[in-house]
Amino acid sequence: MSTRGIDSLLADLVAEGTVESEGAFTLDRDKAREKMRQFQLADPLEYLLQLVRAAVLRGATALTFAIDTDDMWLSFDGNPFTIEDFDELYGALFGRGEGGVLAARRHLALGVNSALALDPRHVRVESGEAVLEARPGADDAFGPLTPARADTRVHVRDRLRLGNLVRFVRVLSGSLPERTLLAARCAYCPVPLTLNGDRLDGGLARLRGELVSWVEVEDDGVFVAGGHGLDDAPGTVSLVAAGVTIRDVALPTAPGFRAVAGSRALRTDVSQADVVQDEAWATLMQGVERARLTSLMSLLADRPEAAEAALVRELLHAPPPTRWAETLG
């Protein structure tokens, strides 16, 4: 869906809804659901990433995926969703608040909506004392779950298709597209994430093993971890929101520095493909710069020869001072 189309959809819904306290947004559920069907992620399979974000925001301490030829199961602990969450699910996308409850509801809505674009038999969410079942072309059904469960379980049941034979082979070979997606985008998930018994969240440990310095900066909801390597590879920072890598940002004046950064306040745009460059983003990038300088200090203390090389690389990549630029201009 184009940005213009997204903006038009949002404008229609905002005109018909009511903004409540703390940025919550209320409008007719059926109308919101109908409008939501017009919005899809660029890759509907990324519904998995939206479910991960919803789970992390609900306080999950572990996420367990089980995927075969025609089923996707996700189980996680944390605070369960409620009937109220399911009732106000689709309006959550258009609220302005970034609180954990509203944001988790929003990502669950995006996950359910995008999963339905794959035309499954159903998407079923059992959580605590509530259950939601969504089917393509039908009204949602939600209400009390009896008996209640202690965790949350999401089930996406596929239809019988000719392509299921190909998926069967991919399951056996470990080459499912879902695995590729989760391994690439959830490597820095802050809690254990498994798919068919395999851990996929070890990205931070792997990154640390590739660097000669390591620092962690944590302050007021901002977390940055990273350091310098021995080469002059372009500097990069991976921006992570609720367990999902949103994008990598190039750091052209910091060769050899690699980091992972996240913030509770970091927001993604409505397409979910990029971060919003607002005050929270600026604060996060300031944290990245603090981590870079701390890493250099660590190198000076522990690996002076590596620090010297790193400083030379940074000087070679640094822009000219402002006065030089003004003079040359």
Q: What pLDDT score was predicted for residue 28?
A: 67
- pLDDT tens-digit map of 121-157: 999 999 999 999 999 988 899 999 999 999 999 999 9
Q: What pLDDT score does 164 carry?
A: 57
Which tokens is 274 given?
């990029």
| d(C-alpha 42, C-alpha 5), whole Å | 13
More confident residue, 39 or 120: 120
Return the percent helix, strand and coil in the chain, to nearest 5: 40, 25, 35
| pLDDT tens-digit map of 234-262 | 899 999 999 999 999 999 888 889 999 99
**Type of residue found at 154:** V
pLDDT at 185: 97
Lowest-confidence range among 173-177, 288-292, 319-323? 319-323
pLDDT digits (tens, 9 = 90+) for 264-306: 888 888 778 889 899 999 999 999 999 998 998 888 877 777 6
289 sits in the region (left: phi over 0; alpha: psi -120 to 50; else beta) called alpha
Dist CA 114 CA 297 (whole Å):
46
Q: Is the pLDDT of residue 2 over 50?
A: no
Q: Is 292:257 a contact under the CB 8 Å cutoff?
A: yes
| Closest CA relative to residue 76, chosen from 131, 140, 125, 5 | 125
Q: Which domains does the chain have, with CATH numbers?
A: 3-201 (3.30.565), 204-323 (3.30.230.80)
Instruction: Provide the CA 96 distance to its chain's centre, in angstroms.
Output: 18
How far apart are alpha carbons 25 and 316 in whole angstroms?
51
Q: Which of 212, 209, 190 is nearest to 201 (CA)?
A: 190
Contacts of residues 170-173 at CB distance under 8 Å and 24 or more positions apart, as own/partner, are 171/67, 171/68, 171/69, 171/196
pLDDT greater than 50 at residue 201: yes
Contacts of 289 (CB under 8 A, 6+ apart): none
Whole-number Å distance between alpha carbons of 236 and 256: 8
In this structure, the strands spanning 193-195 and 63-67 are parallel
Cis amide prior to 147 (ω within 30 degrees) = yes
Tokens 């901002």 belong to: 222
Is there a contact between 220 and 235 (Cβ–Cβ < 8 Å)?
A: no
What is the number of other CB atoms lying within 10 angstroms of the CB of residue 185? 21
Mean pLDDT score across all residues of the chain: 83
pLDDT in tens, 26-67: 566 676 677 666 677 888 899 999 999 999 999 999 999 999
Cβ neighbours of residue 229 closer than 8 Å, sequence gap 6 or more? 210, 211, 212, 256, 258
pLDDT surpassing 50 at residue 326: no
Q: Which pTM does this prediction carry?
A: 0.84
How far apart CA 122 and CA 42 sit, in angstroms, is 21
Sign of the CA dihedral with 35 first, then 36, 41, and 43 last: negative
Q: What is the pLDDT of residue 21?
A: 45
